[in-house]
Structure 1
Amino acid sequence: MAELKNCPTCGDFFNYTGIREVCAKCARGEEEMYEEVYRFLRRRENRAATIERIVEVTGVTETLLHKWVRKGRLQPALFPNLGYPCDNCGKLTTQGKLCISCTDDLKSGLRQFEAAQEFREAVTKSDTGTYLADRKKK
């Protein structure tokens, strides 16, 4: 069932069905911009263009370029300088939500946490109780 939402681009109301995040008018505008960007990138000399160069020439926003790369409409395999920002550090990435560096940091932190947890469990299991002898001073 559709729900009534405001278009994030123009502010108009539209029926959100889960397919498009914007109203029909803005979706047509985005599609026209996509066609312009794709025509620009199809030319051999522009395939290695950076995001800044594409924005400069076509007038499309970086956010829209990132959205198209994230959705797979513009593929970094064909256009090597395209990507979208890592959700953690903002560095460009081409897959997932995190860049390789942030993924490695996260994995390292998880390994350290698991090792510390295993150590705590081992200490708890081996600790059968410590008995202290009552030493009286003589």
Structure 2
Amino acid sequence: MDVRNCKKCGKLFNFTGEPLCPACAKELEAKFFDVRTYIYDNPKASMSTVAEEMDVPIQQIKKWVRQERLAFTKDSGISIECENCGRAILTGRYCSECKKKMTNQFSSMYQEKEQQHASGIKASSKGKMRFLGE
């Protein structure tokens, strides 16, 4: 059992991946829904205005945007940077081009590994069963 202190209130709690106790996590989740409603009602509000009006740090709003829990419209003027190339995006961690490149790289690496694995099995088997100690 992993017991830690809550990042916000300092109380001890069973750590399950989130650095907040259940009470603070519930409070943060309620703040998220309030922020989401505020952005929906005020689509052209700046991120600093949202943070100030809703009493939430800008970093928390950016975290929700990176987690794709919040997204802004194109005409809102709010954007964050792609973590790979720096291009302005509205939600997530990467722009669509960087996502596509990463997907292609992972696919080609997977196919290469599969080919190596398949050729390795064919070369070593030669139709015989192998036993340890032979």
Please give the TM-score of this superposition, normalised by the length of structure 2: 0.54
Equivalent in the alignment of 2:5: 6
Q: Give, in angstroms, the shift of residue 81 of structure 1.
A: 4.2
Q: In the superposition, relative to structure 1, how do residues 79 and 40 fare at CA in structure 2: closer, same or farther (>3 Å)? A: farther
Higher Rg of the two aligned structures: 1
Equivalent in the alignment of 2:50: 54
The alignment-based identity, stated in percent, is 28
Q: In the superposition, relative to structure 1, how do residues 76 and 55 fare at CA in structure 2: closer, same or farther (>3 Å)? A: same
Equivalent in the alignment of 2:28: 30
- Cα distance between partner residues in 2 of 1:79 and 1:29: 30
- Aligned residue for 1:10, secondary structure, equals coil
Q: Give, in angstroms, the shift of residue 10 of structure 1.
A: 1.2
- Aligned residue for 1:69, secondary structure, equals helix
Unaligned regions of 5+ residues in structure 2, if any? 99-134
Asked if 2 retains the 8 angstrom alpha-carbon contact of 1:70 and 1:83, the reply is: no
**Deviation by residue 1:64-98 (Cα, 9 ceiling, x = unmatched):** 212211211102457854455787xxxx765438x
Unaligned regions of 5+ residues in structure 1, if any? 98-102, 104-138
Q: Give, in angstroms, the shift of residue 22 of structure 1.
A: 0.9
User: How much is the aligned-residue C-alpha RMSD, in angstroms?
Assistant: 3.1
Asked if 2 retains the 8 angstrom alpha-carbon contact of 1:69 and 1:83, the reply is: no
Q: 1:75 aligns with which of 61, 71, 84?
A: 71
Please give the TM-score of this superposition, normalised by the length of structure 1: 0.53
Asked if 1 retains the 8 angstrom alpha-carbon contact of 2:43 and 2:72, the reply is: no
- Aligned residue for 1:60, secondary structure, equals coil
